[in-house]
Structure 1
Amino acid sequence: MRYIITVDQSTSATKAVLFNEHCQLVCRKNVAHKQYYPQPGWVEHDAEEIYNNMVEAIREVVKTVDDAEASYSLAITNQRETAVVWNRFTGKPVYNAVVWQCQRGAAICNELRERGYTDLIRERSGLLIDPYFAASGVKWILDNVQGARQAADNGELLMGTIDTWLVWKLTGGKEHVTDYTNASRTMLFNIHTLDWDDELLNLLTIPRNMMAKPMPCDSVFGETTVEGVFDEPIVIAGMLGDSHGALAGQMCFEAGMGKATYGTGSSVMVNIGENAVAAPEGLVTSVGFAAKGKIFYAFEGNIHCTGATIKWMTDNLHLIESPAEIEKFALEVPDNGGVYMVPAFAGLGAPWWNSQAKAMICGMTLATEKGHICRAALEAIAYQIKDLIDLMTKQAGITLKELRVDGGPTKNQLLMQFQADMLDACINRSDIEEASAMGAMIMNGLARKVWKDMDEVAALRTSDNRIFPTMSRDERERLYAGWTEAIHTVNR
């Protein structure tokens, strides 16, 4: 049996997921790592701990295979914008990894905006100027860690996102590489030329000799024994950032296909095809994935509160005893009764971008019941997804073919039907476990020529759970107008 081990290195843990040659998930091992908060708003990880945890997780899943003749290969998907800077000679990081959540680069980003570089950076990288992306974290390390700037100027330091760090360590420092998706989340990568942009590097004062070689997702990135777990080196093939992994894992291989992950918040990504169209205000354009000689671009936006809204109703209001109860109460009323909830608990994210906005429930009367509020909370999730997707498809000049969804809230039938109705498009609820890992595994198989093209991969999708819209256009427009009015009230 041939196995693919996919490393899913996330913000909170490192997971090794073992797939067999039939793309079936065999087992997984999860190892959490420590979060460091040295100052308010700062978030760090120990890059060496992450590497050691990955080795442990791989060792544990291999132990479950009782087959001396089994062969293996390795794929990687990872938290995207987290940055590591290390010494190329000692192999030691000069500082902890600066995590994508970290705000220490805010002053650097503000200065770039004030100097008028917003349009240039957006045009070249597809991104907003924000400490969320890796560049400001790297610049902060070079400017603030004693000796780092001098060492960088002397050519002694390397940088990379977590994928780059893991491959460099796995190959004993032989391979300093990344893939196009991770590179496109640094604010240093030109998504049109598919290379590091010298002007952006100069703006951030990051020497080009620190940068990894960017490659397509379906590349072979090196060989490794994983610190002796394997007697002979195995190939590292297939790599992409976690959200991009989910896009590929959901097999959104055509323009107009999108994925939405419903978690605490929601990540929405739509394949816009092979042209890097400028994203709408407040959203970003990234490389969606690169495989079989083609580059597919994607629009992406993130919503702060989706599942978190239901958790708030459970933990704070005690309106329901568990998230699973919300659908039962929402079905006790025929409609929302004119009640709308705008869950701006952490401000409004894309496409409204108002960090000062506060949450609101409006439209209540003496006839309002628990069911109306429960329904309004669920509907708010669907409205926010619609806000983003309408903006994306209009800007790209495409029609949404299908939205493939995953995450806990997708078990809620009322929510999924309302989502289909609001988008006037098919919702395809996935039973794929570990969508990001599946995407990396697909890229691994393409790199090793297990499958000849995307069509052959798409045929592997064994089950579909499609939900089709049933609502009339007039009803959809009436309900959405109420949401728009509520948003504008909050957004004043």
Structure 2
Amino acid sequence: MARHLLAIDQGTTSTRAILFAADGTPVMEARRDLRQIYPAEGWVEHDGEDIWQAVLDTVREVLARAGLAARDIAAIGITNQRETTLVWERRTGRLLHHAIVWQDRRTAETCARLRADGAETLVAARTGLVVDPYFSGTKLAWVLQHVPEARLLAAQGELAFGTVDSFLLWRLTGGAVHATDATNAARTLLFDIHRGVWDEDLLALLDVPASLLPEVRPSAGDFGATLPDLFGAAIPVRGIAGDQQAAGVGQACLAPGAIKATYGTGCFVLVNTGDKAIASRHRLLSTVALDLGGRRTYALEGSIFVAGAAVQWLRDGLHLFKGAAETEALARAARPQAQVHMVPAFTGLGAPHWDPEARGAILGLTRDTGIAEIVRATLESVAFQTRDLMEAIGNDLAAEGRPRPASLRVDGGMVVNDWAMQFLADMLGIPVERPKVTETTALGAAFLAGLGCGLFAEPAEISAAWRLERRFEPRMSADERAARWQGWQAAVSRVLSHGGPAPAPR
């Protein structure tokens, strides 16, 4: 019997295929970096054909290096950068436009117009989201409006829309399956998370024909199989989830109150709220955490648009160091008394501010500010932004009579930095827990595939597989924590486009 699981982890900056043993132990990984395309200020695109080729290359490489054949793989799980939008012709599979990435802000004016027209109340009630360019719906509407013939082809039923998971599934199955899962559908501005269906009123609001949309299926189950000629034999696809929800599975955040933060290009904090979708009072999102067998569980989510991307900018844009691994030593070498703040609002600010027009800044520079101080401020900005989210999450949970988080599980590329994780614990005032397997997004996709193909009988088996590597206890005094927090809030106020705290959603 095949006992290996294969995760396709298609992210914002790279595409990876990771092979796991049935117990969740990583066996082999292959990776390809993804070219970033910036056609205009605030616009971010990917070439969908680059994504597809990278998936083929990494899956083939990881099988070859592991000495395995397609028949040795029990199932594939797909996890993906959410919200990123693709549109293609059903007959030929030809993409109409580059993928419009979740970071893209080209629909900011459209979103402002929708808010002015009072659409935010409807959107929040049905989707749990805010009206922001972040989500897929206005990106899809932009393609239909601006790409020649797109509107006509859509009216004729000849186009398909999908987030990255749906596009890859279409290609992997040779066009046999046009589907997504509830965690990805929940990020489109078009999906009613309470009824679990595409919403007619939201489709009308954005003028999107229902014929474009994929079928929404549970996160673990039958998504078809790959074409035999792609990898030597057909491999079942049995799990799909958006990257942040997949990380929640990999972190075993399957019970109400369980909370994790994933640090990649951005940072995303999700707390499981069980079978109730909580309406945030603090500009967080309410979203689908998972759908298993038609039983949906929900989460509160806070989204930071720039986390690891800020470190990447220091490396590739400013050339301050050669590798991200150098940042820990640089942060330790920074002058303790320096009061430099980096606010990485490169593409606006996410939760709880939701200000697409905010722009980044480095504040508090003096003549003796050096590379070490700027690096430390950048790492600190990730912790400060996480506290922004944790404060909002704690307040929302308290309003529901639920306890505030007592600890935080972390994962993603940045968490290998011990200095950054210690500062995070210091700034939050609660322990930060790092698992043995930090690439939990791919692990979650593999676990879902395992559930879908029957390798795991129930989610409890996933929880039992989670292992702690290190627990960071807070060491900072309450007075110092408060002073540093006040300095961060002052820095953020300097970059907000409206010059003050974000208004509450209508």
For the criterion TM > 0.5, the same-fold answer is yes
1:446 aligns with 2:426: no
- 1:78-477 mapped onto 2 (5 Å cutoff): 78-225=80-227, 227-231=229-233, 233-263=234-264, 265-291=266-292, 294-304=295-305, 306-307=307-308, 322-329=326-333, 333=336, 336=337, 339=339, 341=341, 343-344=343-344, 346=346, 348-353=349-354, 355-356=357-358, 359=361, 361-362=363-364, 379-397=380-398, 398=402, 399-471=404-476, 473=478, 476-477=481-482
CA RMSD of aligned residues (A): 3.3
| Aligned partner letter, 2:60 | R
| Aligned partner letter, 2:449 | N
Alpha-carbon contact 2:328-2:418 (below 8 Å) kept: no
TM-aligned CA deviation for residue 264 of structure 1: 5.4
TM-aligned CA deviation for residue 197 of structure 1: 0.5
- Tell me the equivalent position of 1:51: 52
Distance 1:401 1:156, change over 3 A: same
TM-aligned CA deviation for residue 401 of structure 1: 3.5
State how far apart, in whole Å, the 2-side matches of 1:35 and 1:447 are: 33
TM-aligned CA deviation for residue 390 of structure 1: 1.1
| Aligned partner letter, 1:446 | L
TM-aligned CA deviation for residue 487 of structure 1: 4.7
3-state SS of the aligned residue for 2:58? helix
Higher RCO (CA < 8 A, seq sep 6+): 2
Distance 1:375 1:50, change over 3 A: closer
State how far apart, in whole Å, the 2-side matches of 1:23 and 1:41 are: 39
| Aligned partner letter, 2:14 | A
3-state SS of the aligned residue for 2:224? strand
Please give the TM-score of this superposition, normalised by the length of structure 1. 0.86
TM-aligned CA deviation for residue 20 of structure 1: 2.0
Alpha-carbon contact 2:412-2:439 (below 8 Å) kept: no
Alpha-carbon contact 2:251-2:440 (below 8 Å) kept: yes
Distance 1:156 1:325, change over 3 A: same
3-state SS of the aligned residue for 1:224? coil
Q: Deviations over 1:463-489 (max 9, x none)?
A: 331123355656644554454455556
Larger radius of gyration: 1
TM-aligned CA deviation for residue 460 of structure 1: 0.8
State how far apart, in whole Å, the 2-side matches of 1:125 and 1:135 are: 11
Alpha-carbon contact 2:239-2:449 (below 8 Å) kept: yes
Distance 1:452 1:393, change over 3 A: farther
State how far apart, in whole Å, the 1-side matches of 2:377 and 2:47 are: 42
**Unmatched runs of 5 consecutive residues or more in structure 1:** none
State how far apart, in whole Å, the 1-side matches of 2:322 and 2:450 are: 45
3-state SS of the aligned residue for 2:231? coil
| Aligned partner letter, 1:95 | H
TM-aligned CA deviation for residue 200 of structure 1: 0.4
Alpha-carbon contact 2:394-2:405 (below 8 Å) kept: yes
TM-aligned CA deviation for residue 24 of structure 1: 1.8
State how far apart, in whole Å, the 2-side matches of 1:45 and 1:348 are: 21
State how far apart, in whole Å, the 1-side matches of 2:318 and 2:331 are: 18
Alpha-carbon contact 1:170-1:227 (below 8 Å) kept: no
Alpha-carbon contact 2:320-2:371 (below 8 Å) kept: no
- 1:472-483 mapped onto 2 (5 Å cutoff): 473=478, 476-477=481-482, 479-481=484-486, 483=488
TM-aligned CA deviation for residue 459 of structure 1: 1.1
State how far apart, in whole Å, the 1-side matches of 2:86 and 2:311 are: 35
TM-aligned CA deviation for residue 444 of structure 1: 0.8
- Tell me the equivalent position of 1:4: 5
3-state SS of the aligned residue for 1:59? helix
3-state SS of the aligned residue for 2:225? strand
Alpha-carbon contact 1:340-1:486 (below 8 Å) kept: no
Distance 1:160 1:306, change over 3 A: closer
3-state SS of the aligned residue for 2:237? strand
Distance 1:213 1:384, change over 3 A: same
TM-aligned CA deviation for residue 16 of structure 1: 1.3
State how far apart, in whole Å, the 2-side matches of 1:48 and 1:364 are: 46
Distance 1:435 1:155, change over 3 A: same
| Aligned partner letter, 1:463 | L
Q: Deviations over 1:57-85 (max 9, x none)?
A: 22222222435673432110111112222
TM-aligned CA deviation for residue 453 of structure 1: 2.4
Alpha-carbon contact 2:288-2:298 (below 8 Å) kept: yes
State how far apart, in whole Å, the 2-side matches of 1:316 and 1:383 are: 22
TM-aligned CA deviation for residue 343 of structure 1: 2.7
